[in-house]
Amino acid sequence: MNKQRRLILKTLMQGGMALGALMAAPGAALAAWMESAFKAKDMGEAMKNLLGSANAQDSDKVRLETPAIAENGAVVPIKVSSSLPNVESISIFVKNNPTPLAASFEIPEGTEPKVSVRIRMGKTSPVTAVVKAGGKLYSTTKETKVTIGGCGG
Amino acid sequence: MSMNRREFVHVLGLAAAAGMLPGGKVLAAGSGKSLYEVPKFGNARILHMTDCHAQLLPIYFREPNVNLGLGISRGRPPHLVGKNLLKYYGLPEKGPIAHALTYLNFDAAAKTYGKVGGFAHMATLVKQLRAEVGESQSLLLDGGDTWQGSGTAYWTRGKDMVDACNQLGVDVMTGHWEFTYTEDEVRANIQRFKGEFVAQNINLTEDALFDDAPAYDTDTGHAFKPYTIKQMGKHRVAVIGQAFPYTPIANPRRFIPNWTFGIKDENMQALVDEVRAKEKPDAVIVISHNGMDVDLKMASRVTGVDVIFGGHTHDGVPGAMEIKNSKGVTLVTNAGSNGKFLGVMDLDLGEGKVKGYRFRLLPVFSNLLDADPAMSRLIEDIRKPYQKDLSEKLAVADETLYRRGNFNGTFDQIICDALRAVNDAQISLSPGFRWGTTVLAGDAITMENVMDQTCITYPETYVREMSGEEIKLILEDVCDNLFNEDPYYQQGGDMVRVGGMDYTCTPGEKMGKRISDMQLDDGTPIDPKKKYKVSGWATVGSQAPGEPIWDQVAEYLRDQKHVKVKKLNTPKLKGVAGNPGLADYPGKVS
């Protein structure tokens, strides 16, 4: 990879991380609804606070890539994309995390609905991607196992 | 009393005739007059070895009497032991084939049929099988776990095995324990290797890509070449690599921080489709280190693969499994471990497809195959600097010492006893690896035997305080890696071995509920809140502070002089009575 491109990408990444940090520690600037969603301790409550409903329809048009077993629970790579039309947002929930809402992305009109993020997982849990499209909620869930490791032969 | 070669050939001929007649389920051996006469079939011969664990010389290896299968895996290969396995394949209960595939009557049969494997003997067999069909119509595949498992492999950082594989003529390999050396060492060994190293499921991490770490393809992120095309006579065969998907979890991530693994079966499907479209091969085969249950599931999901040659779980399975998926059938094989077997797959290739196959799993009986002189010389050279250390006799085995099986083997128990004695610990833990050779009752236990059982690049021991709750958590975690009902969540090792404590295991339960009735050797219940002094080795998270496990085991053996298991800490089992993956269990079963 060309050095300059790498530098730009790194800078962008750091910028992205700073933004992420802002989201993780919502201050006064963030809307109360977002804070209540990110702080919710129950997945249903988090979904309701963020998206207005705790129910989403299972859909194979929400593509979720997760490791079956996490290599490192502190940085679990998650990818979500969707072939649904008019995607407005993509949100990721980890049911067994102390605060299940891990990330939420607004998808502006005309943007390809595809996100990639690394999240922290305390223990084995279902991971759910919820896509809001045309005002409706669609989801896919997969389990990611967090293990102590070792003893493999 | 060992058989002489003429007697041996005669018995093998009978075994072959009894089990391998047309219409039988398998062709576990040649249907000619001797084991190694394999009638020619088709136009492409693919030889497959796997999980030799750096055993250059002939060894003994006792197959398991506990290899439980649950749910869909119950009673299905590879989860059959002893007579159940032989019955399934219509093989006789006695004779050399039964001895190679099972633990039955092990001590006596091992004396009768002698040692198995050894690269010099394997080389003779490989040469013969390749010469029969012509070099251009044969391939030799190695499923990995080749560079680890012996003292010489450890001391040469796997180089001895690369040289031996070059001499053997390995064409394509993939890996697992190979990645327990550092990235630089792995790359140097691959450079030294004359064949090709393939893996579709190892990618650079995002950080490594940004940092310009070496990669095969920076666009796809592949750390290694994902597949290769081999010309076989008039035909072209695509060979895709599938490395062990959980290497950075089952083994230390710190040696290879730039790489990320996974089963990645969607990527596998995309690659198979791409290869079929672009390369127009006559067959697509996978050299896999998934483990057999994972291979079976993958074969049911991914389409367009003709054969998966599997390893990792060390299953000597005498037949190819035909697995249906939405577009056809994929064959799945597994070729055992420790150089004990060579898989022989003869394919009849047509244009863009496989028209037929014959599969045989040949046991490598060292007494029956001449040692190849060139390979023998190489092995001698490799061993010379270490011979003195390796041949030290530490103690005498008063019973046969082995590891393989879902729970404590007798050699594991000696290791656990050693950990407790040397570190003055109440409880000891030892990993459930599936490698480790067998020492026969009455034989001396040499330093080489101890290295064969313990040799890894993270051998450091530890002693630490753990609460009863923590110990249970570890047991539950490992047990789920073994018995999770979904193979994609299994890691392919056996249960962690314990010393100084007993427990009850209910394999069919869910995680968190499999382990119960934990108690110390004297029967005192283990209190979740109370702290216990625990010793162990092979920590994956970070380097442990203690001396290498082999030094502690050697110290213990020198001190004991004669060893025999005093108490086998094998769990009571619940809910698995009548399981065909369980026989002659030394503990209680309900």
Q: What is the pLDDT of residues B102-145, one digit of tens each?
A: 999 999 999 999 999 999 999 999 999 999 999 899 999 999 99
Chain A residue with Cα closest to B291: A153
Hey, is the C-beta of A110 within 8 angstroms of any chain B C-beta?
no
pLDDT level of residue B4 (50, 70, 90 thresholds): low
Task: Give the ipTM of the model, two decimals please.
Answer: 0.86
Do the Cβ atoms of A150 and B250 come within 8 Å? Answer: yes
Q: Tell me, what's the pLDDT at A16?
A: 41
Hey, is the C-beta of A6 within 8 angstroms of any chain B C-beta?
yes
Judge: domain B38-59+115-379, CATH 3.40.50.720.
Answer: no
The full set of domain ranges for chain A reads 31-144
Model confidence pLDDT, tens digit, residues B166-198? 999 999 999 999 999 999 999 999 999 999 999
Q: Could you give the 3-state DSSP secondary structure of residue B182?
A: coil
Quick check: A7 pLDDT over 70? no
Q: Regarding predicted confidence, which is higher, A2 or B466?
A: B466
pLDDT level of residue B12 (50, 70, 90 thresholds): low
Quick check: B441 pLDDT over 70? yes
Share of chain A above pLDDT 70, in %: 76
pLDDT level of residue B8 (50, 70, 90 thresholds): low
Sign of the CA dihedral with A23 first, then A28, A32, and A37 last: positive
Do the Cβ atoms of A152 and B473 come within 8 Å? Answer: no
Mean pLDDT, chain B, integer? 94
Q: Which of B269, B491, B496 to mutate to test the interface with A (most CBs of A within 10 A)?
A: B491
**Closest in A6, A124, A152 to B246, CB measured:** A152
Model confidence pLDDT, tens digit, residues B509-553? 999 999 999 999 999 999 999 999 999 999 998 899 999 999 999
Quick check: B25 pLDDT over 60? no
Share of chain A above pLDDT 90, in %: 71
Token output for B104: 């039955």
Model confidence pLDDT, tens digit, residues B53-72? 999 999 999 999 999 999 99
**Closest in B209, B244, B249 to A69, CB measured:** B249
User: Alpha helices, DSSP H only, in B341-425?
Assistant: 373-383, 387-390, 410-423
Report the C-alpha gap between B312 and B358 in whole angstroms: 23
What is the SS3 string spanning B17-75? HHHCCCCCCCCCCCCCCCCCCCCCCCCEEEEEECCCCCCCCCEECCCCCECCCCHHHCC
Model confidence pLDDT, tens digit, residues B471-490? 999 999 999 999 999 999 99
Report the C-alpha gap between B354 and B452 in whole angstroms: 40
Judge: domain A31-144, CATH 3.30.70.1380.
Answer: no
pLDDT level of residue A27 (50, 70, 90 thresholds): very low
Share of chain B above pLDDT 70, in %: 94
Same fold, B38-59+115-379 and B391-573: no
pLDDT level of residue B20 (50, 70, 90 thresholds): very low
**Residue at token pair 């005002």:** A135
Report the C-alpha gap between B137 and B43 in whole angstroms: 7
Q: How far is CA A104 from the centre of its chain?
A: 6
Q: Which CATH superfamily is domain B391-573 in?
A: 5'-Nucleotidase, C-terminal domain (3.90.780.10)
pLDDT level of residue B567 (50, 70, 90 thresholds): very high
**pTM, rounded to two decimals:** 0.92
In this prediction, residues B44-50 reach a mean pLDDT of 98
Q: Which neighbouring-strand residues pair with B196?
A: B172
Model confidence pLDDT, tens digit, residues B386-425? 999 999 999 999 999 999 999 999 999 999 999 999 999 9
Strands A76-82 and A114-119: antiparallel
pLDDT level of residue A31 (50, 70, 90 thresholds): low
Do the Cβ atoms of B539 and A150 come within 8 Å? Answer: yes
